A and B are shown apart, each in its own frame.
Chain A
Amino acid sequence: MSRPSDLVQGTLDMLILKILALEPLNGWAVSQRLKQMSSDVLGVSDGSLYPALHKLEHRGWITAHWKPSGNNRRAKFYSLTRLGRKQLEKEAADWNRLSAAISGIVKLKEA
Chain B
Amino acid sequence: MTFEQWFYTLPLRLRSFFRRKQVDLELKDELRDHIEQQIKENLAAGMSPEDARYSALRALGGMTQIEQQCRDAHGGSVIEDLVQDLRYGFRQLGRSPGFSSLAILCLTLGIGANTAVFSWIEGILFRPYPAVAHQERLLAVGGTARGESGGTGISWPDFLDLQRSCTLCDAFFVSKITGSTLNIGERAEIATGSIVSANYFDAIGVHPALGRGFAPGEDVGSNAHPVAVISHQFWRNRFKSDPQIVGRTQRLDNVPYTIIGVAPQGFYGTFVGWAMDFWVPASMEETFESGGYKLEDRGARWIEAYVRLKPGVTRAQAQEEISAIATRLEHDYSATNRGRSIRLWPLWQTPFNNAGTLLPTLEIMLAVGAFVLLIACANVGNLLLVRSFARRHEMTVRLAIGASRIRLLKQLLTEGLILSTLGAAGGLLVAYWCRHALVLLLPVRSGVAMYLPGEIDWRVMSLSAGICLIATLIVGLVPAFQARNIDLAGALKVEATGVVGSRGTAWVRSSLVVFQVCLSFVLLVGAALLLQSLQKIRTTSPGFSTTNVVKTGVSLITAGYDVPRAKTFQQDLIARVWALPGVQSAAFASVTPLGYRSYSSTPIAVDGYQPPLEEQPTVDYNQVGPDYFPTLGIPLLSGREFTRADDENAQLVAIVNQTMAARYWRDQNPIDRRLQVKGRWVRVIGVAADSKYESMRESPKPFFYVPLLQDFDREPVFYIRSTQPLESVSAAVLREVHALDGNLALYEMITLQEQVDRSTSPQLVAVTLVSILGGLALLLAAVGLYGVMSYAVAQANRELGLRMALGAGAADLFRRVISRGLRLTAVGVLCGATAGLALTRLFGKLLYNVSPNDPLAFASAVAVMTITSVAACLLPAWRATRTDPARVLRD
Contact = CB atoms under 8 A, between A and B. Distances in A.
A67 B12 CA distance: 18
Nearest to B9: A60
Interface in A60-91: 60, 63, 66, 69, 73-76, 81-83
Contact of A75 (B7, B12, B33, B61): B33
Interface in A31-66: 31-32, 45-48, 50-52, 54-55, 57-60, 63, 66
A50 B38 contact: no
Interface string B47-75: 00000000000011110011001101111
Nearest to A73: B33
B37 interface: yes
Nearest to A55: B73
A22 interface: no
Given A45-B59, A46-B59, A83-B8, A58 B65 contact: no
Contact of B34 (A46, A48, A60, A81): A46
A53 B282 CA distance: 79
A32 B37 CA distance: 11
A24 interface: no
A58 B74 contact: yes
A27 interface: yes
B9 A50 contact: no
Contacts of B4: 60, 82-83
Given A27-B33, A50-B30, A54-B70, A59 B61 contact: no
Interface in B63-89: 65-66, 69-70, 72-75
B34 A74 contact: no
A55 to B, nearest CB: 4
A81 B2 CA distance: 14
B12 A51 contact: no
B467 to A, nearest CB: 36
B614 interface: no
Contacts of B65: 1, 47
A51 B70 contact: yes
A28 interface: yes
Contacts of B61: 1-2, 45-47
Interface range on chain B (Cβ under 8 Å from partner): 20 to 34
Contact of B12 (A1, A26, A57): A57
Nearest to B56: A46
B728 interface: no
Contacts of A1: 61-62, 65
A33 B157 CA distance: 92
Given A59-B9, A76-B26, A50 B31 contact: yes
B33 A51 contact: no
A36 to B, nearest CB: 12
A2 B62 CA distance: 11
Contacts of A66: 26
Contacts of A45: 59-61
B462 interface: no
B29 interface: yes
Given A60-B4, A82-B4, A47 B33 contact: no
Given A58-B73, A60-B8, A83-B5, A47 B34 contact: no
A50 B66 contact: yes
B34 A31 contact: yes
A51 B73 contact: yes
B5 A27 contact: no
Given A51-B70, A58-B75, A82-B4, A28 B59 contact: no
A81 B70 CA distance: 20
Interface string A1-27: 110000000000000000000000011
A13 to B, nearest CB: 11
Contacts of A63: 8
B69 A51 contact: yes
Contacts of B26: 66, 76
Contacts of A83: 2, 4-5, 8
A84 to B, nearest CB: 9
A27 B70 contact: no
Contacts of B60: 45-47
Nearest to A30: B34
Contacts of A74: 29, 33
A27 B34 contact: yes
B225 to A, nearest CB: 72
A83 B7 CA distance: 11
Nearest to B61: A47
Nearest to B63: A47
Contacts of B8: 60, 63, 81, 83
Contacts of A60: 4-9
Contacts of A26: 30, 33-34
Nearest to A61: B8
B62 A47 contact: yes
A107 B36 CA distance: 45
Given A27-B33, A76-B33, A50 B5 contact: no
A72 to B, nearest CB: 12
B622 to A, nearest CB: 81
Given A27-B34, A58-B73, A58-B75, A47 B9 contact: no
Contacts of B33: 26-28, 69, 73-76
Most B Cβ at <10 Å: residue of A1, A47, A73, A74: A47
Interface string B1-30: 010111111001100000000000010011
A51 B71 CA distance: 8
A58 B9 contact: yes
A69 B7 CA distance: 28
Given A28-B33, A74-B29, A59 B69 contact: no
A54 B61 CA distance: 17
A93 B69 CA distance: 29
Interface string B76-104: 00000000000000000000000000000
Contacts of A59: 5, 9
B330 to A, nearest CB: 69
A59 B74 CA distance: 9
A51 B64 CA distance: 12
Nearest to A46: B60
A84 B386 CA distance: 50
B530 to A, nearest CB: 61
Contacts of A48: 69
Contacts of A76: 26, 29-30, 33
Nearest to B77: A58
B131 to A, nearest CB: 51
Contacts of A31: 34
A82 B312 CA distance: 44
B19 to A, nearest CB: 14
- Among A50, A63, A74, A83, chain B packs the most CB atoms within 10 A around the CB of A50
Contacts of A28: 33-34, 37-38
A26 B33 CA distance: 9
Contact of B70 (A32, A46, A50, A82): A50
B141 to A, nearest CB: 58
A55 B65 CA distance: 15
Contacts of B6: 60
B66 A51 contact: yes
Which 5 A-B residue pairs are closest in the complex by CB-CB distance?
Answer: A47-B61, A60-B8, A51-B69, A55-B73, A54-B73
28 contacts: A1-B61, A1-B62, A26-B33, A28-B34, A28-B38, A32-B41, A45-B59, A45-B60, A46-B59, A46-B60, A47-B62, A47-B65, A47-B66, A48-B69, A50-B66, A50-B69, A50-B70, A51-B66, A51-B69, A54-B74, A55-B75, A57-B12, A58-B74, A59-B5, A60-B7, A60-B8, A76-B33, A83-B5
Interface of A: 1-2, 26-28, 31-32, 45-48, 50-52, 54-55, 57-60, 63, 66, 69, 73-76, 81-83
Given A31-B34, A50-B66, A59-B9, 18 more contacts: A1-B65, A26-B33, A27-B31, A28-B34, A28-B37, A46-B38, A46-B61, A48-B69, A50-B30, A52-B73, A58-B9, A58-B13, A60-B6, A60-B7, A73-B33, A75-B33, A76-B30, A83-B2
